[in-house]
């Protein structure tokens, strides 16, 4: 089986900001993003997905906000967007899809935990993590756990992660600790950029492996002395940033691989489809259930 794990937060942002969604008058304005995501997930099922889970940030804040005061919050987000998270979770649940609405942890943590669960199950041929988010690159394992950017239709396996970031998946948290992540609200270390961090971590893998003295580095990096000094002076901050960037595979997801099998919509999905302005969504879901029953 192939396990599909979807970043529902990213998908909701994507459809909320979509010009096509903005010009679509069939769905209520306050649910246009939701309708887009639900239709997209149903499309994945129609294309053959059988085991699927969607993670959302039910609230934007998480345990990481207690570790770093500048960590991302919901401040400044369009209230029309934040108001659609709960309806999204309700509509997807009615579709019969497993949803992880995260509160203490983040959606990315749920995806990481589910990816680890899937990779540990010998019955799972491949885990496909559907998000372009660089944080999730740390979950990639060979071609068994891959990332899929559904908008660009790009698949990124372990070789693809190295090609894009210059480091293997296991070094992504260290790379983010040095470079920073503007979207998540932590700055990285002064002077360290994507290229310098990639060169150093490609050689030494993790923060602890980087020699304190630039003279001991056996890779050429411009401004190495300054970068080494900064890392020595701010090593604890770098470790904190790595903690922020490290996804928690122990996040509670409350389901095993078998629980992710889609068996059809609940009875209330018809009402949700009508509320979303697209009764055809329910008809499509019912038709798909019938088709799969015949195929069995």
Which pLDDT does position 22 carry in this prediction? 61
Helices (H), 105-209: 107-119, 158-165, 172-179, 194-204
Sign of the CA dihedral running 58, 100, 64, 183: negative
- CA pair distance 11, 150, nearest whole angstrom: 9
User: Confidence band (pLDDT; 50, 70, 90) for 294?
Assistant: confident
Over residues 103-136, the pLDDT tens digits come to 999 999 999 999 999 999 999 999 999 999 999 9
DSSP character for 169?
A: G
Which residue is it, tokens 């937060």? 9
Contact criterion met (CB below 8 Å) for 235 and 207: yes
User: Residues with Cβ < 8 Å from 68, sequence gap 6 or more?
Assistant: 185, 186, 240, 241, 244
pLDDT of residue 140: 98
Token readout for 65 is 């906000």
What is the pLDDT, as a whole number, of residue 236? 98
**In this predicted structure, what is the pLDDT of residue 23?**
61
Dist CA 151 CA 161 (whole Å): 18
User: CA quadruple 231, 237, 239, 242: dihedral positive or negative?
Assistant: negative
Please check whether residue 261 is in contact with residue 50, taking contact to mean a CB–CB distance below 8 angstroms: yes
pTM greater than 0.85 = yes
Gyration radius from the chain CA atoms = 21
**Residue 269, CA atoms < 13 Å, CB-side half-sphere:** 21
Question: What is the token pair recorded at 251?
Answer: 């996040």
């Amino acid at each position: 089986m192939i396990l599909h794990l979807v970043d529902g937060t990213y998908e909701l942002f994507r459809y909320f900001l979509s010009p096509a969604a903005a010009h679509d008058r069939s769905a209520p304005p306050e649910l246009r993003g939701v309708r887009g995501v639900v239709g997209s997930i149903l499309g994945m099922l129609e294309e053959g997905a059988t085991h699927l889970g969607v993670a959302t940030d039910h609230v934007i804040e998480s345990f990481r906000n207690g570790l770093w005061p500048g960590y991302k919050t919901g401040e400044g987000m369009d209230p029309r967007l934040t108001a659609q998270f709960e309806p999204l979770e309700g509509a997807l649940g009615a579709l019969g899809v497993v949803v992880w609405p995260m509160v203490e942890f983040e959606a990315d943590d749920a995806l990481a935990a589910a990816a680890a669960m899937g990779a540990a199950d010998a019955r799972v041929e491949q885990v496909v993590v559907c998000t372009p988010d660089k944080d999730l690159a740390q979950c990639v394992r060979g071609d068994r756990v891959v990332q899929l950017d559904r908008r660009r239709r790009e698949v990124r396996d372990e070789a693809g992660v190295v090609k894009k970031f210059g480091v293997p998946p296991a070094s992504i948290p260290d790379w983010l600790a040095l470079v920073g992540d503007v979207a998540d609200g932590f700055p990285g270390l002064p002077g360290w950029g994507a290229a310098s961090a990639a060169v150093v971590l490609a050689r030494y893998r993790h923060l602890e492996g980087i020699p304190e003295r630039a003279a001991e580095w056996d890779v050429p990096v411009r401004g190495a002395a300054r970068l080494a000094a900064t890392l020595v002076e701010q090593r604890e901050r770098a470790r904190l940033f790595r903690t922020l960037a490290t996804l928690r595979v122990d996040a509670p997801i409350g389901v095993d691989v078998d629980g992710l099998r889609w068996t059809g919509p609940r009875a209330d999905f018809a009402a949700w489809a009508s509320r979303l302005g697209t009764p055809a969504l329910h008809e499509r879901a019912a038709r798909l259930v019938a088709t799969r029953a015949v195929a069995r």
